[in-house]
Amino acid sequence: MVPAKTHPKWVALLQGHLDYKFSNAAASMLLFRLKGDFRRDPTHTTLLRAVEEMHAFFCKYQRILAPDIAAIFN
């Protein structure tokens, strides 16, 4: 199960405080893009939008991303 958007590790991933190497290339590319967006515009709004997008992606592909979800959030 994908953790709630309010879980602090979403923000930690996007701000670079939590370094994780995804087993899925698409998840890695998404995180890379969203981190870049946040670096260019480090506002709370950008961060919330990035968390929303990352969470939606993980919900959509949670079966494929199950090992990554377990490693990050457990």
pTM of this prediction?
0.93
Which pLDDT value is given to residue 30?
98
Supply the pLDDT for residue 42. Answer: 96
Q: What are phi and psi of 62, to 5 degrees?
A: -60, -30
Are residues 51 and 3 in contact, defined by beta-carbon separation less than 8 angstroms?
no
55 to 4, 38, 58: CA distances (angstroms): 8, 16, 5
Q: Where are the domains of the chain?
A: 8-73
Residue 14: the pLDDT is 96
**Per-residue confidence of the chain (74 residues) as pLDDT tens digits?**
999 999 999 999 999 999 999 999 999 999 999 999 999 999 999 999 999 999 999 999 999 999 999 999 98
